[in-house]
Amino acid sequence: MNHTLLLDSEALSRLLRDERAMTARIAAARRADAAVCTSAMTVVEAAGPRIHPSRVSFVLSRLRVEPVLPEDGRWAHTVLTRAGLHGHKYAIAAVLAALAVRLSHGNVTLLTSDPEDLTVLLGDGVGARVRVVGL
């Protein structure tokens, strides 16, 4: 596998709700032998009380849920500070961006409802390795 499809909160929420377009996108990624993953923090944000716990368990069993490492936190803090951003709205996005950078040994496609914020957080140097795709 040299390609990773990385899901933000909205992408994961759509998958948890079994939305047809998202499930088709995930199926296509799997057929192309891409890893489909998300951040542990994204799970917390996406899996709300309206989603049955068994659905959450099933979906997560088919994804790679990446932990948040100390270096992810340091990287996220650095880019948030540089961009003059703070607060929970940006914190989880910054951690997801850090994960994208960590996984970018191959090609990473980041599915997000916030392409502008993620593009700012990733910066110019990462753009060649991480493709941000808006939902």
* Structure token digits, residue 77: 């803090």
For residue 112, give the 3-state DSSP assignment: strand
What tens digit of pLDDT does each residue of 110-125 get?
999 999 999 889 887 6
Q: Where are the alpha helices (DSSP H) in the chain?
A: 9-16, 20-31, 40-46, 53-61, 70-83, 88-102, 115-122
pLDDT score, position 126: 61
Can you give the C-alpha Rg of the chain in angstroms? 14
pLDDT score, position 125: 62
Domains by residue range for the chain, with CATH: 3-134 (3.40.50.1010)
- 105 pLDDT band (50/70/90 cuts)? confident
pTM of the model: 0.92
pLDDT score, position 61: 96
* Structure token digits, residue 86: 């703070």
Q: Which residue has the higher pLDDT, 11 or 88?
A: 11
How many Å apart are CA 123 and CA 115, to the nearest integer?
Answer: 12
Q: How many CA atoms lie within 13 A of 40 on its CB side?
A: 6
Chain-wide mean pLDDT for the chain? 91
How many Å apart are CA 129 and CA 77, to the nearest integer?
Answer: 21
Nearest to 29 by CA among 67, 58, 53, 64: 64
Residues 72, 93 contacting (CB under 8 angstroms): no
Residue 91 pLDDT greater than 60, yes or no = yes
